[in-house]
Structure 1
Amino acid sequence: MTHTAGQAPGTTKGLNGHMLMAAVVSAISGLLYGYDTGIISGALLQISEEFHIGNTMKETIAAGILLGAVIGSLSCSLLCERYGRHRTILLICCVFIAGSLTCAVAPNAVGLALARVLLGFAVGGATQTVPMYVAELAPRAIRGRLVLCFQLAIGAGIVIATIVGASEAVSWRVSIGAAAAPALLMLLGQLRLPESPRWLILRKSDVEGAEKVLKQVRPAGYDVDSELDEISALGRRQQRTDRDHQGWRGLRQKWVRPALVVGCGIAVFTQLSGIEMIIYYAPTILTDNGFSRSSALRVSVALGVVYLVMMIIGLWIVDKVGRRRLTLIMVPGAAVSLFVLGGFYITGHSTRAYVPAIIACLLAFMFFNAGGLQLMGWLTGSEIYPLTVRAAATSVQSATLWSTNLLITLTLLSMISAFGVGQVFWIYAFFNVAAWLFVWWKMPELTGHSLEDIEQHLKNDEFQPEDFARS
């Protein structure tokens, strides 16, 4: 039942200035996410020397941004519903600036941890709001690729952060505070963008305003009328529903539950797959196990580059290969990489002679994980939820992701101390096996379906993989 309304032959692939600017804003927000979370990896080595802290405080500083992200993702849902996606993103930009500068001047470890909570509010708010905003603006034919600009930029941010950390020439205060500059550019870019047409229709019944926005963000010759009719029809149906079926209350509806299970499940497994373990603590794990500091930081840069390259590849193929198929292909490779990596440590083969093999396993894991499961974390959340509960549902998914990340970050070094590095790698390998089973069992193929079509599948109780395969 894939519709073709809203598409004009030969025009759906074009990008005009406004849509390009939306992609740029999305990219900057993703870059800030990647940079602000990734910079702590190398910075912890400097911070621990300056503040004389142990593993517990290291975990607390790394986790501060994640606690803030949980708060931000939940709070920005309410702001999105009430004030709109556009104005919420403007607020997020301001918090990014304030948070970066506050971290840079933190007087001690506790102050830094608290400042990273503020910065985390912006990170969490961005992950909840920006992909949803771009998905609601984008033409369906390139929706996946535009939303993944956010994910791609996360990789770029991580690479920049690892390069800055590996240089060891820049003070951690300067490297963290420098994030205020792209945040200012993001603010200036967002000021030029319109509100989401879907929010205008749902919350304001502003069909004329939505039509004006669609004409702004679609290339010349695009069939705006058909797309507007589809959005308006859905908006009218949503407005006729009572308040118990909208927003946070609406999440209790039985027909919404399958989308929430898939979205939150994917969010959990993107973190349990081991990606954050590698991004946050790779230098710490490697230096604690015989690697020199400079070698560990260079490995961290290589991991960031692989992440970015796979984001670029995923950006171009996800709408062609398909979300579900790509994930099922890539996850087994990530699991095998962690099993082999853990085996080196468990069997005592983690000596200098095996360094090339260990590094190869780390890079292979990043290749398969970044090119598969990581692509889906924010993309699925921007696509699968009904319009009346979209802000609340994406907030729950984002908070689920950040809460899982927070739990991992607060416990990882302690788990390694208790069980050993190899055993922990194996634990995360089994999580990848569980992720593959979850995607195979629960995640439908959303490629080629409009947001309205996906919602209709939910209402028809046809949200299993086989239901989408038939349509």
Structure 2
Amino acid sequence: MQTMTETSYAPQTARTASVSFENTPIEVSPNAKRTLLLSALVAAICGGLYGYDTGIISGTLPLMGEEFHLNAGMKESVASAILLGAVFGAFGAGSLSERYGRRTTTCLVSAIFVLGALACSMAPDVRSLIGARLVLGLAVGGSTQVVPMYISELAPRERRGTLVTMFNVAIGIGIVVAAVIGLFERTNWGWRPMIAIAAGPAAIVFVSTFFLPKSPRWAAENEGVKSAIASLSRIRTTRKAVRCEMRDIHETTEGVDPDNRGWRGLFQPWVRPALVAALGVAFFTQCGGLEMMIYYAPTFLSDAGFGASSAMLASLGVAVVYCVMTFLGCLFVDRIGRRRLMLVMGPGAALALIGLGVMFMTRPEPGSLGSWLIVAFLLLFMMFNSGGIQVCGWLLGAEMFPLSMRGQATSLHAATLWGADLLVTSTALTMAEDIGLTWTMWFYAFVNIASIAFVFFFVPETSGASLEDIEHALMEKRFRPTKGHTAIARSEDQDETLIPG
């Protein structure tokens, strides 16, 4: 088992690196594929914890409201406290993941998950509950910063999209589990056990991380070639694959200008296209309305005349659709491409929200055709949004940024996601009360239309490119959409073969 400590790394020249590659013995593991898959699965459990801890609030919030006598504003505070903590957790995890490694940070995050879940379940009053959810938010935000990046740096280029989006699939599974428990067990269990059970999977992740491989890219930058080769040898099936990937990694870690490292490097002009693309998609991922539906669908449906059981059943449907569509997105995102998937699915999400607003305006009677159309449009929105931009939101942040600033960049990316989520969650109920459900849905339809335009003009295709290919495209100013379809544009003197997309 590898130790979780950092050692100094002195950059080598290309010549000495080549000698190191030739002289360093490489023994690939016969279980490399299994190790890679298990690493992605264990890390993705953090996504399941995120999904559960954020999704369970829809089932527990009414019970908390009864126990603590909460008004709409206090409910928003309880629901959004985890998001505020997530913003700080995302920034904190970035520095930790750069200094101590992706694996170590994942271990720490899982420990905070355990403590946060238990603290929430034992909160004696609403202030303690909000404070405990802030702590839980640190783990949620930290996991969304480090886990997609960790999986991205472990994955081979042709499987990166699939493996990273396993994090999204795990989020969906967590939301479904939360919805099932909220529907069938909330009256039997009460809200405290519903929150406390998340500590169990978190403890499993904590123990498992001690046996996972290090990120080979972090190891190359911080511990040197031998450590990186040792990590790659655990997750690649051939010596040739290890050597080829190691050469690419070394080219990006050797002799990096101090101005291109950390926060200073993140704001260099040549990095700006990735910063705009990744943060823009992050903003629209959360502000498109999906999190609002997950948190407040039962509340919206109750306001529209649905009974409590019907509203919770519809909420379960929302969770199931999210889970199914993110799973399908996981399977096809590498084949279809990130940008194309968002452009194909985005219009459907906008149209579904427009239809939902129309149905809320008509205020149909419970059990009528109109009431069923409300549920249908709600599920259609979930289908198009979760199968499109939700699949790509975390993925793009994990793969677009150069290695020398990736920890800080993914911190900013995750903080943008959580900041946008906080904005939506802390205002959705108030907006619905002030302007009505119809105009609320139409507002979010406009946001989805804006996201389509943003993706079309600012987001290039990264499917099929290695992390090093993407970094080179940024440095050579080829990181831009091409006309019609998109790919990372190639200069004329380069290979004519475009990245699939």
Q: Give the structure-2-normalised TM-score.
A: 0.89
CA RMSD of aligned residues (A): 1.5
The residue identity in structure 1 corresponding to 2:235 is V
- Counterpart of 2:190 (choices 165, 171, 180) is 171
| CA–CA separation in structure 1 for the residues paired with 2:80 and 2:195 | 15
| CA–CA separation in structure 1 for the residues paired with 2:362 and 2:147 | 45
1:315 aligns with 2:320: no
| CA–CA separation in structure 2 for the residues paired with 1:298 and 1:334 | 21
| CA–CA separation in structure 2 for the residues paired with 1:199 and 1:401 | 24
Other-structure match for 2:165: 148
| CA–CA separation in structure 1 for the residues paired with 2:458 and 2:329 | 21
What is the Cα deviation at residue 233 of structure 1?
Answer: 1.6
- Counterpart of 1:211 (choices 212, 218, 229) is 229
Greater CA radius of gyration, 1 or 2?
A: 2
- Counterpart of 1:439 (choices 455, 458, 478) is 455
| CA–CA separation in structure 1 for the residues paired with 2:146 and 2:304 | 40
Q: Provide, for residues 260-306 of structure 1, a one-character-per-residue CA deviation record: whole Å limited to 9, x for no partner.
A: 11111001001111101100000111112211101000000011111
Q: Provide, for residues 241-261 of structure 1, a one-character-per-residue CA deviation record: whole Å limited to 9, x for no partner.
A: 12x321111112001111011
How do residues 326-345 of structure 1 correspond to structure 2 at under 5 angstroms? 326-345=341-360
1:420 aligns to what SS in structure 2?
helix
| CA–CA separation in structure 2 for the residues paired with 1:45 and 1:80 | 37
The residue identity in structure 2 corresponding to 1:45 is P
Other-structure match for 2:244: 226
How do residues 306-455 of structure 1 correspond to structure 2 at under 5 angstroms? 306-349=321-364, 352-353=367-368, 354-455=370-471
The residue identity in structure 2 corresponding to 1:227 is E
Other-structure match for 2:199: 180
Q: Provide, for residues 35-73 of structure 1, a one-character-per-residue CA deviation record: whole Å limited to 9, x for no partner.
A: 000000111111111111100110000001001100000
| CA–CA separation in structure 2 for the residues paired with 1:253 and 1:197 | 25
| CA–CA separation in structure 1 for the residues paired with 2:255 and 2:229 | 18
| CA–CA separation in structure 2 for the residues paired with 1:469 and 1:229 | 23
The residue identity in structure 2 corresponding to 1:256 is V
1:290 aligns to what SS in structure 2?
coil
| CA–CA separation in structure 2 for the residues paired with 1:445 and 1:46 | 45
Moved over 3 A (4+): 347-352
Structure 1, unmatched stretches of 5+, are: 1-10
| CA–CA separation in structure 1 for the residues paired with 2:240 and 2:247 | 14
Taking a change above 3 Å as real, the CA distance of residues 222 and 36 of structure 1, as seen in their structure-2 partners, is: farther
Other-structure match for 2:3: none
Moved more, 345-354 or 147-156: 345-354
What is the Cα deviation at residue 460 of structure 1?
Answer: 0.9
What is the Cα deviation at residue 234 of structure 1?
Answer: 1.3
The residue identity in structure 2 corresponding to 1:182 is P
1:159 aligns with 2:207: no
Other-structure match for 2:216: 197
| CA–CA separation in structure 2 for the residues paired with 1:349 and 1:431 | 26
Other-structure match for 1:84: 101
Q: Provide, for residues 57-91 of structure 1, a one-character-per-residue CA deviation record: whole Å limited to 9, x for no partner.
A: 10000001001100000011111111111111111
The residue identity in structure 2 corresponding to 1:322 is G
Other-structure match for 1:235: 253
What is the Cα deviation at residue 222 of structure 1?
Answer: 5.5
Taking a change above 3 Å as real, the CA distance of residues 453 and 248 of structure 1, as seen in their structure-2 partners, is: same
Q: Provide, for residues 380-426 of structure 1, a one-character-per-residue CA deviation record: whole Å limited to 9, x for no partner.
A: 01110001110101100100110111111111111111100010000
The residue identity in structure 1 corresponding to 2:197 is A
Q: Residues 255 and 459 of structure 1 are in contact (CA less than 8 Å); yes or no, is this contact kept in structure 2?
A: yes
The residue identity in structure 2 corresponding to 1:446 is T
1:72 aligns with 2:95: no
1:16 aligns with 2:33: yes
| CA–CA separation in structure 1 for the residues paired with 2:64 and 2:407 | 37
The residue identity in structure 2 corresponding to 1:189 is S
What is the Cα deviation at residue 462 of structure 1?
Answer: 1.3
Q: Provide, for residues 79-132 of structure 1, a one-character-per-residue CA deviation record: whole Å limited to 9, x for no partner.
A: 111111111111101100000000000001111111000000000000000110
Q: Provide, for residues 337-392 of structure 1, a one-character-per-residue CA deviation record: whole Å limited to 9, x for no partner.
A: 00010011224446542111100000100110010010011100111000111010
Q: Provide, for residues 22-45 of structure 1, a one-character-per-residue CA deviation record: whole Å limited to 9, x for no partner.
A: 111222111001000000011111
| CA–CA separation in structure 2 for the residues paired with 1:72 and 1:132 | 15
Q: Residues 341 and 358 of structure 1 are in contact (CA less than 8 Å); yes or no, is this contact kept in structure 2?
A: yes
Q: Provide, for residues 134-166 of structure 1, a one-character-per-residue CA deviation record: whole Å limited to 9, x for no partner.
A: 111111111110101101100000000001101
Q: Residues 45 and 201 of structure 2 are in contact (CA less than 8 Å); yes or no, is this contact kept in structure 1?
A: yes
1:106 aligns with 2:126: no
1:191 aligns to what SS in structure 2?
helix
The residue identity in structure 2 corresponding to 1:210 is A
Moved more, 212-221 or 366-375: 212-221
Other-structure match for 1:7: none
Other-structure match for 1:245: 260
- Of structures 1 and 2, the one with the larger relative CO (CA 8 A, separation 6+) is 1
Q: Residues 344 and 350 of structure 1 are in contact (CA less than 8 Å); yes or no, is this contact kept in structure 2?
A: no
| CA–CA separation in structure 2 for the residues paired with 1:222 and 1:287 | 60
What is the Cα deviation at residue 322 of structure 1?
Answer: 0.8
Q: Residues 445 and 469 of structure 1 are in contact (CA less than 8 Å); yes or no, is this contact kept in structure 2?
A: no
2:203 aligns to what SS in structure 1?
helix
What is the Cα deviation at residue 170 of structure 1?
Answer: 2.2
Q: Residues 31 and 150 of structure 1 are in contact (CA less than 8 Å); yes or no, is this contact kept in structure 2?
A: yes
What is the Cα deviation at residue 335 of structure 1?
Answer: 0.3
Other-structure match for 2:150: 133
The residue identity in structure 2 corresponding to 1:199 is W
The residue identity in structure 1 corresponding to 2:488 is F
1:468 aligns with 2:488: yes
Q: Residues 26 and 149 of structure 1 are in contact (CA less than 8 Å); yes or no, is this contact kept in structure 2?
A: no
| CA–CA separation in structure 2 for the residues paired with 1:289 and 1:268 | 28
Other-structure match for 1:3: none
What is the Cα deviation at residue 469 of structure 1?
Answer: 5.2
Taking a change above 3 Å as real, the CA distance of residues 148 and 222 of structure 1, as seen in their structure-2 partners, is: farther
